[in-house]
Chain A
Amino acid sequence: LAKTTQPISMDSYEGQEVNITCSHNNIATNDYITWYQQFPSQGPRFIIQGYKTKVTNEVASLFIPADRKSSTLSLPRVSLSDTAVYYCLVGDRSNYGQNFVFGPGTRLSVLP
């Protein structure tokens, strides 16, 4: 069962770049990494997904090193509205079949 670790919380200021790292030492060959953002009382919102190297979309970048044992979500120029909990999700297989394992989440606080 893949286990992921993330920092519990991070603080940043508006306009700064924020990097959140997720460790997933037991990632399997076919697993992929997905990051989500969640606001209170809402469902998680898809941010970005990747398998290896670097992926970029209009809101974030995802860096995955060659060994794929970690991944880093990069949020450029954060604003107050980026204050949320960020989760990394790694595909995993268990005895019951594919079991998506969420990380514990990183609570990002963006300060003015």
Chain B
Amino acid sequence: KAGVTQTPRYLIKTRGQQVTLSCSPISGHRSVSWYQQTPGQGLQFLFEYFSETQRNKGNFPGRFSGRQFSNSRSEMNVSTLELGDSALYLCASSLGQGGWFFGPGTRLTVL
């Protein structure tokens, strides 16, 4: 069974731009969550989706948004990029509570 895939793997943007990251969960998984990882803050939870509905949300500004499609694929959008948004963005999928399986991440660099 294929794992969680994320595209693109690497991305370079400039301040003020917006970016959309994509995540395809493991087949059959209906829960998708997103995380931001930086050297200073570690792994931080962004949000979780289940059956196209945002079920949980972390403590991030409204510039960070996401959505989930009927096939469970998910996208994450960051608008008005700031230098501090440079990070590894990780997507994970799950069958239920816990047991999250992570993708390889998208490395976003904001210049």
Q: Which positions in A face B, CB cutoff 8 Å?
A: 32, 34, 36, 41-46, 49, 87, 89, 91, 94, 96-102, 104-105
Contact = CB atoms under 8 A, between A and B. Distances in A.
Given A32-B98, A34-B99, A87-B43, A42 B105 contact: yes
A96 B103 contact: no
Contact of A34 (B57, B100, B103): B100
Where chain B touches its partner, the secondary structure class is strand
Nearest to A50: B98
B98 A96 contact: no
Interface of B: 4, 33, 35, 42-45, 48, 55-59, 88, 90, 92, 97-105, 107
A43 B45 contact: no
A91 B97 CA distance: 9
